[in-house]
Amino acid sequence: MTSYEQIFENNKRWVASRLATDAQFFEKLAREQRPDYLYIGCSDSRVPANEIMGLDAGEVFVHRNIANLVNNIDMNIMSVINYAVRHLEVKHIIVCGHYNCGGVKAAMQPQDLGILNPWLRNIRDVYRLHMEELDAIEDSAQRYNRLVELNVQEQCLNVIKTASVQQSYVEKGYPTVHGWVYDLHNGLLVDLKIDFIGLLHEIQKIYDLTGKGIGKVGSRK
Ligand SMILES: [Zn+2]
């Protein structure tokens, strides 16, 4: 375990190594950020966003919470999406779940988990939406993995339901939304290849906030 004091030593070493390769590194970063990616992931300590994507400081805007949820009355995530889309003009929004997610596992237990109940209910709702498919999976580990994937898919839909994403996509052709799952056992990212355009059109009838109709907009960028 790294001691508390050790962290400041690590930090100094990191600064020195960055400056050794680029003397302007911090000055450049301090001026502005222009990340192409917004990453929405789980708070789990084993899933470090920048590291698994091989991206440096300044290259990805990050939001993390328990079980990578996009809840429309959570002002935190809604502000993050709004800022990333309207001001940073990110080109891609990624919702990244992970297998062995403790939040998803907890949601699978039908019991009172106190303050976590309202948060985990979002995942229980995902289960309810996909109950038929999930209940047909006999192996509990496989069912758990599938719920992780379906949760990512539903949170992608929640991202697509936001006004900023819809309006930016109609006006500029970006961002596109992606669903990923990180596998703790091998460190690999799995792209669920959600059909962004298809989902956009599918939910348009109820959730269209563009006033223009997304269906009239061209094909995938
Ligand atoms: Zn997790």
pLDDT of residue 120: 96
Residue 124 · residue 103 · CB < 8 Å: no
Give a yes or no: residue 10 inside a domain.
Answer: no
Q: What is the pLDDT of residues 63-105, one digit of tens each?
A: 999 999 999 999 999 999 999 999 999 999 999 999 999 999 9
Number of domains in the chain: 1
CA of 145 from ligand 1 middle (Å) equals: 12
Q: What is the pLDDT of residues 167-176, one digit of tens each?
A: 999 999 999 9
The angle at the Cα of 80, spanning 166 to 152, to the nearest 5 degrees, equals 70
Here the tokens at position 1 are: 């375990």
Give a yes or no: residue 166 inside a domain.
Answer: yes
Percentage of the chain beyond pLDDT 90 is: 88
List residues with catalytic annotation: 42, 44, 46, 98, 101
Residue 93 · residue 160 · CB < 8 Å: no
Alpha carbons within 13 A on the beta-carbon side of 168: 24
pLDDT band at 216 (very low <50, low <70, confident <90, very high): low
Q: What is the pTM of this model?
A: 0.93
Give a yes or no: residue 16 inside a domain.
Answer: no
3-state secondary structure of 47: coil
Give a yes or no: residue 199 inside a domain.
Answer: yes
Give a yes or no: residue 3 inside a domain.
Answer: no
d(CA 105, CA 126) in angstroms, rounded, equals 13
Residue 81 · residue 104 · CB < 8 Å: no
CATH at 54: 3.40.1050.10
Domain containing 161: what range? 31-100+149-217
Give a yes or no: residue 76 inside a domain.
Answer: yes
Give a yes or no: residue 194 inside a domain.
Answer: yes
Give a yes or no: residue 40 inside a domain.
Answer: yes
d(CA 159, CA 176) in angstroms, rounded, equals 10
Binding-site annotation, residues for Zn(2+): 42, 44, 98, 101
CA of 162 from ligand 1 middle (Å) equals: 23
d(CA 145, CA 148) in angstroms, rounded, equals 5
For residue 29, pLDDT over 50 is answered with: yes
